[in-house]
């Protein structure tokens, strides 16, 4: 029971740190890193639930595999959007991205 | 008991490196701190006896964060961190939001009764069982993930590629 | 006991490969070459650049050594002689080799020097070229063994070694192994003569000794991986099993070093182009071919 509570606590704190990072940073690359930390916290929770409550149901591990895939994919798309924006405007600061036009 | 110690150790390492990600001024240090935070999460997976997921996490995050490093050097204004710029906005609100999110999740973790805990799993059998699960019950999910990866590869290349009339 | 013996044999192999590498690059066979150059390096002054990123500068050489040793820890020398027989051994080799990239990136960014940074980021380009080529042949090998244990991968080759069963995969993995160990012709991060030593340019004294030691251990680890996955590890008629492992590993290392003598250094654009346009279709064809052979034949 203690290990389960420990793992869930670590997941909760990682989620909080990631949320702070995703909301407070101005640069697109740093926002992406905040989202990565949040997804890491979610994965820790998933694995803890799988291991301690339902080790016979492998759909838990399948969920973690899909979350890992999504982490990689959203980073790829985020960086390609950053590339496009950098070519158009010269910076990826989100404070400057306040107009829909151009 | 040993499992609790290792999970706590890797968990503290993950939290510490995640804090370093947002507090350091050097961008390359930020990316590599994120790498070690995710590797510590992989270590937690290994401590909780999910061997395949732990090794997979460690391997994938090394490559991903190395690529993130080069993107940070390309797009950030001060990759070496010697200028000590302030790069945040709405700092107070986001600190409150982060603290509230963490506290809500902690409250759910502490005050729910989780039911009976399974003491033992067999690591050597897991790889085989995970493979059977992927290939039999979750085949549709796996194929969807594969098609999604292909779509994202094509889409990301299409967005990022330079158009011929600009050359 | 068996762990210590395996590590001892690993370092003995590393010493032999260092002597052979010296012979291949200079043409003179000097059996005490590694010891004398190591003592010379340890005795020299250790110069630190003016404004390094201190953490990266210090961590990079030990991290390279740790990555190579972790990859070698799951490779068997004989049925009982393995440091740790992980249930996901074949995948763990790949995970440990990914940290070679992290170590070289740190060694590139740490010293705050132009040549080092160019070398480090060139290795990132090389990683994008070789990373698929190193995982997909391992997939085909484990398809035949039906397990991720490295000992079972060796035992599945009792009838026919994988080099004959899946030749396309063998060639792809051999080239990718040379890319991971940044041996010539794929030595973009160090590039002696072009980048003045590249990633190793700013290291002197005992740190350079550790970097060179880690590089030789990495070469031996990759040669051992090629022989375990494709040449049948310890299987063979007359000699004891560990002798067969040692002979096969040394032969693969000699082959890698000889290729470097006769092929000029490949350009980064060519490495990326050929890796993705030729290498990945070949690796996918290899998986398909092995699948057909396993299911039909």
Question: What ipTM does the predicted assembly reach?
Answer: 0.90
Q: Which chains touch B (3 or more CB pairs under 8 A)?
A: A, C
In whole angstroms, what is the distance from residue B120 CA to residue A55 CA? Answer: 9
Q: Which residues of B touch C53 (CB under 8 A)?
A: 26, 28-29, 80
Q: Which residues of B touch C148 (CB under 8 A)?
A: 127
Task: Tell me what the mean pLDDT of segment B95-102 comes to.
Answer: 90
Answer whether B69 sits within 8 Å of C106, measured CB to CB.
Answer: no
In whole angstroms, what is the distance from residue B61 CA to residue B35 CA? Answer: 6
Q: What are the domain boundaries of chain C?
A: 2-296
Confidence (pLDDT) at B117: 77
Which candidate, C80, C75, C230, C79, places its Cα nearest to that of C142? C230
pLDDT band at A77 (very low <50, low <70, confident <90, very high): very high
Q: Which residues of B touch A40 (CB under 8 A)?
A: 14, 18, 37-38, 41
Confidence (pLDDT) at C291: 92
pLDDT band at C116 (very low <50, low <70, confident <90, very high): confident
In whole angstroms, what is the distance from residue C260 CA to residue A72 CA? Answer: 35
A31 at the B interface (CB within 8 A)?
no
Q: Provide the CB-side half-sphere exposure for A22 (13 A, CA).
A: 17
Which parts of C110-235 fold into alpha helices (H)?
A: 114-145, 150-155, 162-165, 167-180, 206-230
Number of Cβ atoms within 10 Å of the Cβ of B58: 25
Question: Per-residue pLDDT tens for B1-47?
Answer: 888 899 999 999 999 999 999 888 888 889 999 999 999 999 999 99
Q: Chain C closest CA to B114's CA: distance in Å?
A: 30
Q: Which residues of A touch B121 (CB under 8 A)?
A: 51, 55
The residues, any chain, with a CB within 8 Å of residue A23's CB and separated by 6 or more, are A34, B90, B93, B94, B97, B98
User: What does each C-alpha distance from C24 to C21, C35, C261 come to in angstroms?
Assistant: 5, 17, 7
Listing DSSP states for C72-87 in one string gives: HHT--SBTTB-S---T
SS3 label, residue C176: helix
Q: Which residues of A touch B14 (CB under 8 A)?
A: 10, 14, 40, 44
The residues, any chain, with a CB within 8 Å of residue C160's CB and separated by 6 or more, are none
- Quote the tokens at residue C62: 């030990």
Which candidate, C78, C211, C190, C89, places its Cα nearest to that of C138? C89
A43, A67 Cβ separation under 8 angstroms: yes
Chains B and A touch (3+ CB pairs under 8 A): yes
Q: Which residues of B touch A43 (CB under 8 A)?
A: 41, 57
Confidence (pLDDT) at A102: 60
pLDDT at A99 over 80: no
Residues 123-162 of C with CB under 8 A from B: 124, 127-128, 131, 147-148
pLDDT band at C92 (very low <50, low <70, confident <90, very high): very high
Cα torsion angle, B154, B159, B160, B162, sign? positive
Answer whether B59 sits within 8 Å of C95, measured CB to CB.
Answer: yes
Question: Per-residue pLDDT tens for A18-48?
Answer: 999 999 888 888 899 999 999 999 999 999 9
pLDDT at C196 over 80: no
Q: Which residues pair with A25 in a beta bridge?
A: B88
Confidence (pLDDT) at B17: 94
- Quote the tokens at residue B140: 């549709």
In whole angstroms, what is the distance from residue C132 CA to residue C21 CA? Answer: 27
Task: Tell me what the mean pLDDT of segment C102-118 comes to.
Answer: 86
Which candidate, C132, B5, B57, places its Cα nearest to that of A61? B57
pLDDT at B79 over 80: no
C219, C252 Cβ separation under 8 angstroms: no
Range from A41-50, B41-50, C258-267 carrying the lowest mean pLDDT: C258-267
Q: What percent of chain C has pLDDT over 70?
A: 99
Answer whether C55 sits within 8 Å of B124, measured CB to CB.
Answer: no
Q: Closest to A58 (Cβ–Cβ): which among B7, B106, B129?
A: B129
Chains C and A touch (3+ CB pairs under 8 A): no
In whole angstroms, what is the distance from residue A33 CA to residue B152 CA? Answer: 19
Cis peptide before C185 (omega within 30 of 0): yes
Interface test mutation site (partner C, options B34, B59, B126, B134, max chain C beta carbons within 10 A): B59
Confidence (pLDDT) at C67: 92
Q: Which residues of B touch C86 (CB under 8 A)?
A: 51, 55
pLDDT at B86 over 80: no
Share the mean pLDDT of chain A: 88
B125, C149 Cβ separation under 8 angstroms: no
pLDDT at B166 over 60: no
Determine the topology of domain A2-93 in CATH: Helix Hairpins (1.10.287)
- Quote the tokens at residue C44: 């020299």
Q: Provide the CB-side half-sphere exposure for A98 (13 A, CA).
A: 3
Which candidate, B52, B14, B51, B60, places its Cα nearest to that of B34? B14
Question: Per-residue pLDDT tens for C271-284?
Answer: 889 988 999 999 99
- Quote the tokens at residue B166: 């600009």
Share the mean pLDDT of chain C: 87
């Amino acid at each position: 029971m203690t290990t389960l509570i420990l793992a869930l606590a670590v997941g909760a704190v990682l989620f909080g740190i990631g949320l702070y990072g995703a909301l407070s940073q101005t640069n697109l690359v740093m926002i992406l890193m905040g989202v990565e930390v949040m997804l890491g916290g979610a994965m820790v929770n998933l694995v803890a639930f799988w291991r301690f409550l339902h080790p016979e149901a492998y759909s838990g591990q399948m969920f973690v595999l899909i979350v890992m895939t999504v982490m990689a994919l959203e980073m790829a798309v985020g960086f390609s959007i950053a590339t496009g924006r950098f070519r158009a405007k010269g910076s990826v600061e989100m404070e400057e991205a306040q107009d829909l036009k151009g | 008991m040993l499992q609790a110690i290792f999970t706590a150790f890797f968990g503290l390492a993950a939290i510490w490196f995640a804090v370093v990600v947002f507090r350091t001024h050097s961008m390359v240090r930020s990316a590599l701190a994120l790498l070690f935070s995710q590797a510590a999460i992989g270590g937690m997976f290994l401590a909780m006896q999910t061997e395949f997921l732990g090794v997979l996490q460690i391997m994938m995050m090394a490559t991903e964060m190395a690529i993130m490093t080069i993107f940070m050097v390309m797009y950030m204004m001060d990759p070496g961190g010697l200028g000590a710029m302030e790069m945040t906005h709405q700092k107070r609100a986001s600190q409150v939001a982060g603290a509230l999110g963490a506290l809500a999740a902690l409250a759910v973790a502490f005050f729910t009764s989780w039911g009976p805990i399974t003491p033992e799993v067999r690591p050597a059998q897991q790889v085989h069982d995970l493979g059977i699960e992927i290939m039999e019950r979750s085949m549709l999910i796996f194929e969807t993930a594969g098609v999604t990866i292909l779509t994202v590869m094509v889409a990301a290349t299409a967005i990022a590629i330079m158009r011929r009339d600009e050359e | 006991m068996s762990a210590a013996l395996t590590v001892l044999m690993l370092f003995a192999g590393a010493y032999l490969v260092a002597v052979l590498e010296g012979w291949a690059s200079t043409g003179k066979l000097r059996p005490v070459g590694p010891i004398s150059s190591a003592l010379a390096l340890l005795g020299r002054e250790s110069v630190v650049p003016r404004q390094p990123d201190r953490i990266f500068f210090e961590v990079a050489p030990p991290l390279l050594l740790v990555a190579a040793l972790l990859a070698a820890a799951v490779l068997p020398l004989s049925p009982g002689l393995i440091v740790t027989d992980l249930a996901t051994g074949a995948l763990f080799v790949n995970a440990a080799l990914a940290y070679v990239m992290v170590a070289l990136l740190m060694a590139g960014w740490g010293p705050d020097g132009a040549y080092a940074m160019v070398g480090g980021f060139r290795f990132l380009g090389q990683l994008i070229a070789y990373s698929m080529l190193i995982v997909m042949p391992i997939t085909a090998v484990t398809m035949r063994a039906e397990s991720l244990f490295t000992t079972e991968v060796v035992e599945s080759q009792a009838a026919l070694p994988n080099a004959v069963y899946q030749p396309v995969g063998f060639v792809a993995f051999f080239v990718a192994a040379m890319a991971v160990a940044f041996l010539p012709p794929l030595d973009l991060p160090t590039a002696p003569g072009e980048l003045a030593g590249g990633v190793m340019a700013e290291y002197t004294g005992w740190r350079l000794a550790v970097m060179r030691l880690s590089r030789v251990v990495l070469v031996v680890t990759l040669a051992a991986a090629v022989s375990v996955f494709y040449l049948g590890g310890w299987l063979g008629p007359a000699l004891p099993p560990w002798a067969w492992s040692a002979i096969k590993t040394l032969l693969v290392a000699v082959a890698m070093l000889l290729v470097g003598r006769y092929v000029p250094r490949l350009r980064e654009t060519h490495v990326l182009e050929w890796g993705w346009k030729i290498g990945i279709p070949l690796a996918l064809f290899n998986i398909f071919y092995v699948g057909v052979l396993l299911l039909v034949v």
